[in-house]
Amino acid sequence: MSGVARRIVHGLLGRITVGRLTVVEDGMETVFGAGDGPRAVVHVRDAAAWPWLLKGSSGLGESYARGYWDTPDLTALIRIAARNTHELDEVRRRLGPIREPFQRLRSARSTQTQSKKDIARHYDLGNDLFELMLDPTMMYSSAYFAEPGMSLEDASLAKLELVSSKLALGPQDHVLEIGTGWGGFAVHAAKTTGCRVTTTTISREQHDWAARRIREEGVEDRVELLLQDYRTLEGSYDKLVSIEMIEAVGWRDFGTFFARCSDLLKPDGTMLLQAITMDDRAYAVEKASKSFIRTYVFPNGCLPSNEVIAKALRRHTDLRMVGLQDLTPHYAETLHHWRLNAEAAAGRLDALGYDERFRRIWRLYLAYCEAGFAERRIAVVQSVLAKPAWRAELPDVAAVRHLHATAG
């Protein structure tokens, strides 16, 4: 079985045209590709790896979690894969119409109960994990490296300033945030702009952390924290912020999400959406796939595409897009920082009960995403969406960048 699988995988690796991959097994080296691009070395520790590698990215993840293979540079390995998948992408696109009915059967609409379970499987893994991996702002989303050499913390603060600036937040505003995280945006916006913030999460761990942070920062009079699903929210708000929460909504509920956001905004309101997106042409294939990320890290998650967002806005809201900024390179750098932080804290994570298998899965997850952004297999964008009565102007991003530089 392993021998047959090895021959098949070797045949596939023989199609590498960009980059160079060296596979080392039983002291023997086999080199695939020789062109320009990333270079990586894989050490096969157990022949049981080969059958797993025929199962796509989920098999890649499971075989790595079991220690069947290793590499000194996971990111380079994934970048090689990303640059050599054009033929496979085309085959998968052609199979899209055939797979569609099975995807629909496998992916029911996400109920509030299921959403809470899915969120708990990722965000309730323990605040210690995220505290060791993230910077002191506890922002678990792309930072904004406005100037060269910025620290991760400064870049996270720059991102928060960018959000506040695009929405022109001030003391007159009541802002709704869907997806509290650990309270980073709510606290920062209340302290720096004087606005009122109502923020909601369905993660118990995040809620408890954010509640303590709001008290310690002395903004309880300006920040209301809810433990509530976005579908049950009520009220009317001047501005709305959602930073990388839409990925947890599920592909069958994007319309519901945007409709609710639109209904919660005043007639002249605006919304800042930061979203991880995939290529429009990959969406039909990837939206319900049994990928490594969906299987091991974000159960039932789904990245929208720009086209999907545009269609949802058109069909379910009266919102229009008035601003769009690509932050993709910033996310690759952000993930690189997170990965280094996690590696530096490996001993402490082990002592806290995050065993070797867990750490390997998360090491691969962080490298997988870093490579995805670096190769633009995935992207991250900030969109400003406005209601029909909005008549203001968006700030100049270059001016905002200068503000960050002078403030630093």
Catalytic residues: 369
> How distant is the alpha carbon of residue 162 from its chain centre?
18
Instruction: For residue 69, give both structure tokens.
Output: 């293979």
- Cα–Cα distance, 306 to 303 (Å, whole number): 10
Q: Specify whether the CB–CB gap between 341 and 335 falls below 8 A.
A: no
CA angle 121, 239, 138 (to 5 degrees): 40
What's the rounded Cα separation, in Å, for the pair 263 and 303?
23
